[in-house]
Amino acid sequence: MSDGAVSYARTPRTTPTRYKDRATWEQDTIHAILDSTYLCHLGFVADGAPVVLPTIFARVGDRLYIHGSTGSRPLRGAKGDQGLPVCVTVTLVDALVLTKSAFNHSINFRSVVAHGTAHQVTDPAELSVALDALVDQTVPGRSAEVRPANAKELAATAVVRLDLDEVSAKTRADDADDDEADLDLPYWAGLVPVSTVYGAPVPDASTTVPLPAHLRGLTG
């Protein structure tokens, strides 16, 4: 933060108890991690027990829009004025970190954990923005080349909003870290890069147009 980067405030629950050097609250880093994917894991409490559901999200400025399609339970909780306490976690794996000892194996990763209270989006104009953002988070530029949602669809779209406020990132981007005493062991140590790739798009039978630019960019 000495370089003047904008950071989110630290709180006890965004301050790790271990591997403190892997944590950051820097806004640019957090936004970049969020913008690298569309999949999040949404956690909430139901009847006193934790529930974690996968779903898609979009970042718009300092706000996350989270799709409620994986179940209506969290959405019901977010409908009232009180909102729903949630934890939204986004994780990207960059490499397997393989060491000569079983114990020192690790993963190179980037993750973001956001805590806060989610509220259901009910305003049609905001819903429209959120739905476009969800489409564009998955495939940048796509919302301009689909039929926008109509009023009936917007009313059936379940989206919650979470303002980014209490949020941190953790990252590991480092080599294998064996104990000195293990370095001469005759085992293979190093990194195995991991990445997510898109295959060749498969058009539906109803598709009569050529592959649009927003999909050519996605698949390289």
How many CA atoms are closer than 13 Å to the CA of 95, on its beta-carbon side?
16
SS3 category, 69: coil
Provide the minimum distance between the beta carbon of 211 and a copy of itself in the complex, in angstroms, as a whole number. 6
Q: Which is nearer to a copy of itself, 8 or 114 (CB)?
A: 114
Q: Which is nearer to a copy of itself, 3 or 184 (CB)?
A: 184
H or E segment at 220?
A: none
Provide the minimum distance between the beta carbon of 149 and a copy of itself in the complex, in angstroms, as a whole number. 5
Q: Which is nearer to a copy of itself, 8 or 84 (CB)?
A: 84
Provide the minimum distance between the beta carbon of 156 and a copy of itself in the complex, in angstroms, as a whole number. 8
- Name the region of 75 (left: φ>0; alpha: ψ -120 to 50; beta: rest): alpha
Provide the minimum distance between the beta carbon of 109 and a copy of itself in the complex, in angstroms, as a whole number. 7
- Name the region of 4 (left: φ>0; alpha: ψ -120 to 50; beta: rest): left
Q: Which is nearer to a copy of itself, 7 or 93 (CB)?
A: 93
- CA separation for the pair 100, 34 (Å, rounded): 33
